[in-house]
């Protein structure tokens, strides 16, 4: 099964079944019980509340909250993508581990606007993305001025 971005998506099933087995042997009937255990996992839900926490001319720091559900399998990490508003597609930015809930996206251009989205990942695959509500412009923070001496 293929998911977003052409990545393989696995569905893992978890279930416990009790099977009753009957044996007959010369005037004796015995019953045995066999317990089978199978696991089902799905992709996690989307991370929550993606937001920009720090903005500069060449970087934007993002933060997000953990997904509401992990899909029945521990989170393995997050995937971050960005989109320059002058382009049509998102591009990969980084993978971070499951304990990391922020990322500093660098190599941005001052004055350009960017959208970011974050996917949660577990062994079953990627969640749907959580996206910024509106683009963030890479810029020098208000209140900071760079003075250049006249030569």
DSSP 66-96: --S--TTS-EEEEEEEEEETTSSS-EEEEEE
Which DSSP string do the residues of 94-107 spell out, in sequence order? EEEETT--EEEE-S
Q: So what's the pLDDT on residue 34? A: 65
- Number of C-beta neighbours around residue 151 at 10 A: 3
Q: So what's the pLDDT on residue 22? A: 62
Burial of 133 (0-12, 13-18, 19+ CB in 10 A): exposed
Q: Where are the chain's structural domains?
A: 4-41, 48-137
- Number of C-beta neighbours around residue 116 at 10 A: 24
Q: So what's the pLDDT on residue 40? A: 74
Q: Which CATH number fits domain 48-137: 3.40.600.10, 2.60.40.10, 2.10.25.10, 3.40.50.300?
A: 2.60.40.10
pLDDT tens series, the chain, 151 aa: 444 444 444 454 555 666 666 666 666 656 666 666 666 788 999 999 999 999 999 999 999 999 999 998 999 999 999 999 999 999 999 999 999 999 999 999 999 999 999 999 999 999 999 999 999 999 987 755 555 555 4
Q: So what's the pLDDT on residue 32? A: 64
């Amino acid at each position: 099964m293929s998911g977003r971005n052409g990545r393989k998506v696995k569905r893992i099933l978890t279930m416990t079944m009790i099977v009753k087995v009957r044996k007959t042997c010369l005037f004796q009937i015995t019953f045995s019980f066999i317990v089978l255990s199978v696991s089902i996992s799905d992709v996690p839900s989307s991370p929550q509340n993606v937001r920009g926490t720090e903005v500069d001319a060449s970087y934007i720091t993002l933060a997000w909250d953990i997904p509401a559900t992990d899909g029945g399998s521990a989170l393995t990490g997050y995937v971050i993508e960005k989109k320059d508003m002058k382009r049509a597609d998102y591009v990969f930015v980084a993978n971070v581990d499951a304990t990391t809930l922020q990322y500093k996206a660098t190599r941005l251009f001052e004055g350009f606007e960017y959208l970011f989205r974050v996917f949660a990942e577990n062994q079953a695959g990627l969640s749907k993305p959580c996206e910024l509500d509106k683009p963030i412009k890479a810029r020098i923070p208000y209140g900071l001025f760079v003075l250049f001496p006249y030569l």
